[in-house]
Structure 1
Amino acid sequence: MKTNWFNRLLLSYLPVFFIISLSLLMMTYLTLGEMSKKASVKANQALSHNIAKLIDNKLQGIDSLLLYEILNNDKIIQFFVDNPRESRNYADISAAGALKELIQNNPAIDSIYLYRTPDATVLTPSTLTKLNPFADKKYIGLTLNSRGPYQWTARSIPSAGAGQADKRVISLAKNANLKNLSFLIVNVRIESVSEWIASMADKQTTFVHLADGNGNPILSTEEEKADQAHAPGPGKVLSSAVSEQTGWVVSSGNRDGGILEFVSSLFYLWIAIAAAIVIAGFAWIIYVSRRQYKPVQTLINLISGARKPSPQAAKAEGADEFKLIEATIEELLDETSALQEQHKELSVYHRRHLFLSLMEDTSSTANFGHYLEEELARLGISKPVTGSIVAIVEIDHYAEFVAQYGSDQHLLKYILGASVKELVENKPFTVWTEWISHSKMGVLFLFHHNEGDPEVLDCCEKLRDWVASNLDFTITVGIGRLIRELELTAESFREAVNAVGYKSSLGTNRLITRDHILEKPKGEMFTQLQYFRYISQSFRTGDDKWESYYQEMFHTLSNRLYTRDDLASLMQVLIGYLQKEMAESTEEWNDIWNRDVHSALLSALEEETREEVHEAFHRILHDAFARFNKLRESKSSHQLMHQVKKYIEDHFGNPDLSLTHLSDEFGLNPKYLSRLFREAFGMKFIDYVSNVRMEKSAHLLIDTDETIQDIGRSVGYDQSLTFIRVFKKHTGETPGQYRKKNSL
C-alpha cells in the first residue's frame, strides 16, 4: 500500500500518550504526597496530645507524692509544728533526711526544700538556713505574695557560686501548714522533661516545642540539634496540644524536607500544570483524530450515497486499504439490500400488525380483502381461504404463572405457540398464532377446503390436554364460530374473546364455545340485591342466617353466566353493602372491618373463577363473623342481649314493641338497654326490629295470599300506610311490587 496508516497513527498518538501518562503519574505522586502530608498532620496531632498527657501524668505523680508526704510523713509534719526553738533540732534533722530520701527515690526531682514562715527558715536536704542568705529567696518571696493557686512554673535557679550558669527547672509550691502559710517547694530538672518528650518523639524526623500558657518557651528538641552542622532545620508546626495539668502548650511538626517540602507546598500549582498537560493532550488527540477521520468520512459518504464503483478498477489504480474497504462494502451493499427488504416484510411486527388487522372490524375498509390476499401470499399462504375460525388461548391464573416462572414465562409461551403448530402439522388447514396480550394467545385457523368446527375443536382439545399433562399450568380456550369471508374474521375473534371471558362461571382448563354460552342465561345484578341486603344485615347483627343467604345467593349465580369483570362488579356491590352496615356499628367493630376484613375482600376479587371467589369470600366473612361473635361474648351483657334478641324475634308482631316495653320486661333503663343492644349487635334496636319485621313480611308476601293490610298487622304495623312506607324504604319496592315480581 502507498500509505502506511499504522505508522502514521502511531506517530500521531504515541508521543501524546507518553506525555499524558507521565502527567498522570505526576498527579498520582503529588496526590499521594498530599495524602501523606495529611496523615503526618494527624500523626503530629496524636503525638502532641500524647506528650501533653505524658507530662501531665508525670507531674501529677510528683504532685500527688508531695501531697501524700505532707499529709502522712511525720518527719515533714513535725518540721512545721510550732515547737520551742530548743526542741526543733531533732525535727529539722529528721525532715532533712526525709527530703533526701525523696530526692533519692525520684530521679526527676532536682531539689526540694521546706520553708517555715514563722521564723523564715529554709530547710534543704543538706542545710538549714534563714531566708535572706538563701539563693532562691526571690522565688520564695513570690510564692508568699502569690494570691492565686500554686502551679508548675518553668524558671531558672540562681547558681550558688560566681561564674556558674543558672539551672533551669520547673517548680511547684505546696501548702504544708495553712495556719502559718508554710509550704514545700520542689524543683524538677528540665532534662527530665526533655527525656520524657524524647521517649515519645523521634528527634531525627520530628521536633517538639514546649511553652507556658503565655507563650514563653520552656524547652525544645531543636536546642539539642543546634550544635550539629548538617542537622535539618525545623519545619512548620503541624499541631498543638494544651496540658490540662499545667496549661502549657506542646507543639510539634516534621523537620524541614528540603526540595520535597518545597514541591509539596506547591501541590495545587503542580496539579494544575499536570491537568493542563492532560487537557492539552486530549485536545491534541481530538485534533489528530479529526484529521485522520477525513478518509473515513469520505468512505461513509460513499456508503450513504450507495455509489458502486468497481472493486477491480480500484485495485488496478493501486488504491490504499481504505479504497479497498470502500469497494468491498459496496459489494456487500448489493447482497444485503434484498435481504433487508425481505426482513422488513417478514418481520415480527409486520406479522403482528397484519394479525391484529384481521381481528379488527375492517370489513368496511375498501380493498381490504385484496390487501389480505397479497399479505398472506407474502407470508407463504398462497392457497385460497374458504373460511376462518379464531380461538383464544388464555393461561389460567396468570398472576401465579408469572410469579412461578419469572423470566422463563417467555420460553413457555413460545412452547405453547409451537405446540399449536405441531398439532396441525398434517392438517389440511393453516394455523397462525400471535400473543394479543400477556395472558392471551390468538390462534387463527385458515381453511382452504370445506373443513369446519369439529377438526378445530379436536385440535384445541388436544392442546388443552397436552398442556395439562405436560406443563405445570392449564389453559382455557374460547372458540368463535366459522366465518366464510376472511375479512369478517373479526366476528369470530369477538365471539372467542367473549367465550373465554365466561370461564369465571364455566370453569378453567376447558374449551368454551358459542353453544356453551347459549345454554345458560346471562346473569343480572338486580336479582342479587335482596340477598346482599339480607347477608349484610344478618352479618352485622350476629345472625347465623347470613351463611344460608350467602350459599343461596351463589346457588343462583351458578345457574347464570357472568364474566370475570361482571362477577367482580357484583361482589364489589356486596362489599359496599357490608361496608355500609359496618359503618353503623361500634367503633371497635368498624376498626377491625376497615383494617383487616375489607382489604382481604378486595384482594379476593382477584380470584379467577366463581368458585374461587365464593370460597375466598366465605372464608374471610366466616372468620370475621367468628371474631365479631367473640367480641360480643366478651361483653358481660352478652347473654342478656341474646335474651332481648330472642324476645324480639318471638314478639315482633306486637305493635307496642319498643325500648320502653323491653325496659319494663327486663328491668333496664331504656337508654342503657339501647346502648347495650348496639354494642352487642352493631346496630340500633329500631333498625333490628324493622329488619326482622321486613324479613318476615317478605316471606309472607311470597308464601301466602294474605292481604297487604293483614300482613302489615301480623308483623306489628296497625297502619297499612306505615307498613308500605317502611317496606319500600327497606327493599326499594312496595309490598305489591315485591309480591308481583317474586311470584313470576
Structure 2
Amino acid sequence: MNRTWMHKMIWSYLPIFCLLFSFLFFVFFQTLVQQNNRNTKESSEVFVNQLLQSVDISLRSLDNMLIRDFVSNKLLSDFFQERGKDNVYLNYQIVNQMQLMKQAMPMIDSYYLVRYKDGIVFNGNTKSMDQFADIDFIRSQQRAKATYISTWSAFRTYGEFESQKPKDVISLVHNVSFSSSKDGMIVVNISLASLRMMMREMYEPGQSFVQLYDNEGQPLFKQDGGAGKRKVLASQTSRYTGWTAESGITNGRTGELISSLSSVWLVLGLLSFVAGGASIVYVTRKNYKPIADLVFRIQDQFGTGKPTLGRLAVDEFTFIETAINNFAEQTELFRKEARETAARKQKSLFRELLLTAGEQTEWLEPSLLPPHDRLRVFVLEIDHPEQMFNQYKLRDQSLFKFVVSSASHELFTAQPDVQVWLEWTSPLQMTGILFMNGAAEDTAAETAAHITDWVSRHLAFSVTIGLGETEEAGAGAAGESHKQAQKALSYKATLGHNRVIGGPDTAMQQTEKATNKHLQAIHLLIRQLRLHEEAWQESCDHFFAGMRACRLTKSEIAELCRYFAAHMDVQLSEASKEYYEYWVNETAPSLRQIIEEFDTLEELQRLCAGTLARFAAQMERLHGSRQHHQLLQEIRSYIGLHYANPELSLEFLGDKFGLNAKYISQLFKEEFGENFLDYLTQLRIMAAKKQLLEHPDSIQEVGERVGYVSAATFRRVFRKVEGLSPVDYRKRNAM
C-alpha cells in the first residue's frame, strides 16, 4: 500500500517540530542565564554581609579592648589629672599597656594620648600639642560635638615622626572626661594596609572585587584602569562604622554581553514560535480538505435523513456547539475552583507572611507578592464589640466587615506605588500589609487616622488601629512589623479607643523602679482598706494614674490588678472571719470578673472603684456592730499621734486605756488584720523614710525622732522592712 499521505503529514509537521524545539531551547537558555544572575547577586549580598561583619567584629573588638583594658584602668585618670612631662614611671606604665594591646591586636599601627589642660601629647614620647604632627586632626576632634563613646575617623594619612613616610590609617577616637568638660582623648591608629590584607584573604581578585568606602566616600582600595569592567552586584552599609561595602564580578562586560546575547536568542525564539504557528495554520488548512471529504463520505453513509448545509455544516456544528457548551460549563467550574484555590492560597500566603523569619516554614516566592522594597503592617480592631458590634446578626456583621475592608483598601491604594493585602485574621481584627515600591511616600499613619475617623462618622461603632514600623523587604519583615502592630494595639487599654497607635505612642518603657512604685501603691491601698481609712479612694486613683502614666499594656494592667486581688485575699485572711467571708464570697469574684473582661483603663478604674466602695461600706457596717470598735479606733488614733514615743507598747496602751495588754493585742489583730508591733513599725518606718529624704540629719537622729533610741535597732528594723539600710535608701532616692 502506498503511504504517500503519511509521508506527506510527516514532512509537513517536521519543520514545525524543529521550530518549536528551537524555541523551547532558547527559553531554557534564557531562564538558565537569569537564574545564574540571581544566584550571583544573592551570593554577592551574602559575601558583603559577611565581609562587613568581619570588619565590624575586628574594629569593635579593638574598641571593647580599649575600654576594658585601658579606659577603665586607673592609669588613664592618673595621666589626665597629671601636669607636666616628668612622671616617667606613669609614662612607662602607659607604654607597656599600649604595647600589650598592640600585641593582642596586630592591626594597631600607632597611638597617642592628648591632655587638653596643659596641651601635652604622649605617644611614647611627650610633646607639646602645637608641635605635634597630627595637630590638625586633634583640632578637628576638639571642635567636634562632645561624645563619650568611641568614634571612627575617615581614611586618612598619619606620620608618627616627621622623618617617617605617612601611612594610610583609620583612627579610633575616645574622648575622656573626669569633669564637666572634655579632659582629653585617646587616638588609636589602625593600619589600612592590614585591613586591606585581611579583606583580600576573603575573596579571589581574579573573579570578583570588593570596595570599602568610609563615611566621606573615600575608597579603601585604589581604583585601577579596569574599574570600568566591574559590575557592582551588592552594596551594604555598616550600622557600627557607617562604611559602605560593594562587591560584584570583575568581568562585568562579559556578563553584559551574555545577557545581550540571551535577549537576542529570546527574540529569535519568539520569531521561531510565530513562524511555527503560521506553518501550523497553513498546513492544517491545506490538509483539512481530505478530512472534510472523509466526513462527507461518512455522513453520506450514516447520516441519511439528517438535514445538511452544503453536505457538511449542520451535524458538525451541532457537535461543535455541544462540545463548546460542555467545555464552557467545565471551564466555569474550573474557574470557580481556581478562584477558591487562589483565595485559599493567598490566605495561606498572607498568614505565612505574618510570621517572623525564624517562624516561617515555607520559602516565599517573591513573584507571588506585589512589587515592593518596603512594607508595613497594621492591625484594625473593633472597639467595644459587646456593646454594639456583637448585637448585630452575623450577616450584618459580615456586611460591616466588608465595608470597613473596602474603605481601607480604597484609602490606602489612593497613593501611587502602594498596594495593600487585607485579611480578617480574627472575628474582631483585620490585618493589612502595605507594599510600598520606589518613591512611594509612607503615609500610613495619616491614612489610618482617616479610616478611624470615617468609621466613627459613618458606622455605628469605632475602630482602633495598631501600626507597625516600616521594614525593608526581606524574610520575616512583615512578621516583625506585625508583632510591632500587635504590641501597639495592646496599649489600647491605656491610650484609648478610636485612634491610631504607633511606635512613638508606646515609646515609654516600664522600669524596675516604676514597677516598685506600682507595688507600693497596691500595698498602701490594701493597708488603707484593711484599716478602714477614708483616704483609700485617693490611693486607688493614684494607683490607676501611675499605670496610665507608664502606658502599660492591657496584660500588664491585668497582672497588677490580679496581684492586688491575691494580696488582698492574703491580708484579709488574717483579719476577722466575717470580713474575710464577705471578701471571698462577694467582692473578690466580682473584682476578678472585671479584671478579665475590661477593655480600657478608664472602664477598669470605674468598675473597680465601685466594687471597692461597696466593700468598704460593708466593712464599715461590720466595724460599727463590733463591741470594741470605737475603743480600737481611739487606740489606733493614739498610736498614730504618739508612734515616736520610745515607751509605746502593748503594756503602755493597757495602762492608758485600762485593758489587758494581751486582750488589746487580740482585739487589734481581729479588727485590723495586723498585729500591733507590725502596725507600729510601719508607721515609724514611713515617717523615717520621709525624714531621710527631707532632712540632712544623721541616721541616729532620724531614728530617735521616730521612736528608736538605739541606732543599731533602727538600722536593723529599717533593713528588714525596706530591704536596704537607711543610708542606701537616702542615696538611691536622692539620685
Q: 1:466 aligns with which of 431, 454, 462?
A: 454
Task: Kindly indicate whether residue 661 of structure 2 is the aligned counterpart of residue 665 of structure 1.
Answer: no
Task: Kindly indicate whether residue 679 of structure 2 is the aligned counterpart of residue 688 of structure 1.
Answer: yes
1:458-504: CA deviation from partner (whole Å, max 9, x where unpaired): 22111101111222322111112222315422222222112111122
Q: Which residue of 1 aligns with 2:217?
A: none
1:607-652: CA deviation from partner (whole Å, max 9, x where unpaired): 1222222222222222212221222122242222221111111111
Answer whether contact 2:352 2:360 (CA < 8 A) is retained: no
Q: Which residue of 2 aligns with 1:394?
A: 381
Q: Secondary structure, in 3 states, of the residue corresponding to 1:453?
A: coil
Q: 2:560 aligns with which of 540, 550, 570?
A: 570
- The one-letter amino acid paired with 1:552 is H
Between the aligned partners of 1:591 and 1:345, the Cα distance in structure 2 is: 60
**1:540, distance to aligned residue in structure 2 (A):** 0.5
Distance 1:686 1:593, change over 3 A: same
Distance 1:461 1:673, change over 3 A: same
1:124-170: CA deviation from partner (whole Å, max 9, x where unpaired): xxxxxxxxxxxxxxxxxxxxxxxxxxxxxxxxxxxxxxxxxxxxxxx
Between the aligned partners of 2:472 and 2:525, the Cα distance in structure 1 is: 50
Q: Which residue of 2 aligns with 1:678?
A: 669
Answer whether contact 1:388 1:486 (CA < 8 A) is retained: no
Q: Which residue of 1 aligns with 2:437?
A: 448
Distance 1:683 1:738, change over 3 A: same
Equivalent positions of 1:113-512 (< 5 A) are: 334-335=330-331, 338-339=334-335, 342-347=338-343, 349-362=344-357, 368=363, 371-373=365-367, 375-376=368-369, 381=370, 384-401=371-388, 403-405=390-392, 407=394, 408-424=396-412, 426-428=414-416, 429-454=418-443, 456-485=444-473, 487=475, 488-512=477-501
Task: Kindly indicate whether residue 580 of structure 2 is the aligned counterpart of residue 590 of structure 1.
Answer: yes
1:372-403: CA deviation from partner (whole Å, max 9, x where unpaired): 32x23xxxx5xx32322211111223444564
**1:354, distance to aligned residue in structure 2 (A):** 1.0
Tell me the TM-score normalised to structure 2 length: 0.52
Between the aligned partners of 1:720 and 1:592, the Cα distance in structure 2 is: 43
Q: Which residue of 2 aligns with 1:518?
A: 507
**1:719, distance to aligned residue in structure 2 (A):** 3.1
Distance 1:331 1:432, change over 3 A: closer
Between the aligned partners of 1:648 and 1:367, the Cα distance in structure 2 is: 71
**1:656, distance to aligned residue in structure 2 (A):** 2.1
Q: Secondary structure, in 3 states, of the residue corresponding to 2:377?
A: strand
Identical positions, percent: 28
Answer whether contact 1:604 1:616 (CA < 8 A) is retained: yes
Unaligned runs of 5+ in 1: 1-311, 318-325
Q: Which residue of 2 aligns with 1:698?
A: 689
Distance 1:395 1:652, change over 3 A: same
The count of residues paired between Structure 1 and Structure 2 equals 415
Between the aligned partners of 1:510 and 1:483, the Cα distance in structure 2 is: 22
The structure whose Rg is larger is 1
Distance 1:588 1:613, change over 3 A: same
- The one-letter amino acid paired with 1:492 is S
**1:713, distance to aligned residue in structure 2 (A):** 2.5
Q: 2:521 aligns with which of 531, 537, 546?
A: 531
Q: Which residue of 1 aligns with 2:708?
A: 717
Q: Which residue of 2 aligns with 1:77?
A: none
Between the aligned partners of 1:496 and 1:343, the Cα distance in structure 2 is: 30
Distance 1:735 1:578, change over 3 A: farther
- The one-letter amino acid paired with 2:485 is A
Q: Which residue of 2 aligns with 1:738?
A: 729
Between the aligned partners of 2:480 and 2:341, the Cα distance in structure 1 is: 27
- The one-letter amino acid paired with 1:650 is L
Q: Secondary structure, in 3 states, of the residue corresponding to 2:420?
A: strand
**1:351, distance to aligned residue in structure 2 (A):** 1.8
Q: Which residue of 2 aligns with 1:56?
A: none
Answer whether contact 1:396 1:475 (CA < 8 A) is retained: yes
Q: 1:708 aligns with which of 699, 702, 715?
A: 699
Between the aligned partners of 1:466 and 1:397, the Cα distance in structure 2 is: 17
Q: Which residue of 1 aligns with 2:243?
A: none
Answer whether contact 1:632 1:681 (CA < 8 A) is retained: no
- The one-letter amino acid paired with 2:415 is K
Q: Which residue of 2 aligns with 1:22?
A: none
Distance 1:505 1:696, change over 3 A: same
1:681-706: CA deviation from partner (whole Å, max 9, x where unpaired): 33322232222222222222222223
- The one-letter amino acid paired with 2:654 is S
Q: Which residue of 1 aligns with 2:719?
A: 728
- The one-letter amino acid paired with 2:465 is V
Q: Secondary structure, in 3 states, of the residue corresponding to 1:346?
A: helix
- The one-letter amino acid paired with 2:454 is W
- The one-letter amino acid paired with 1:544 is E
Tell me the TM-score normalised to structure 1 length: 0.51
Between the aligned partners of 1:522 and 1:464, the Cα distance in structure 2 is: 32
- The one-letter amino acid paired with 2:338 is Q
Task: Kindly indicate whether residue 634 of structure 2 is the aligned counterpart of residue 640 of structure 1.
Answer: no
- The one-letter amino acid paired with 1:372 is P
Distance 1:316 1:460, change over 3 A: farther
Q: Which residue of 2 aligns with 1:561?
A: 551
Unaligned runs of 5+ in 2: 1-297, 305-321
Between the aligned partners of 2:486 and 2:540, the Cα distance in structure 1 is: 30
- The one-letter amino acid paired with 2:609 is H
Between the aligned partners of 2:567 and 2:334, the Cα distance in structure 1 is: 67
Distance 1:364 1:645, change over 3 A: closer
Between the aligned partners of 1:530 and 1:366, the Cα distance in structure 2 is: 46
- Which deviates more from structure 2 when the two are superposed, residues 605-614 or residues 584-593? 605-614
Answer whether contact 1:452 1:482 (CA < 8 A) is retained: no
CA RMSD of aligned residues (A): 3.2
Answer whether contact 1:522 1:562 (CA < 8 A) is retained: no
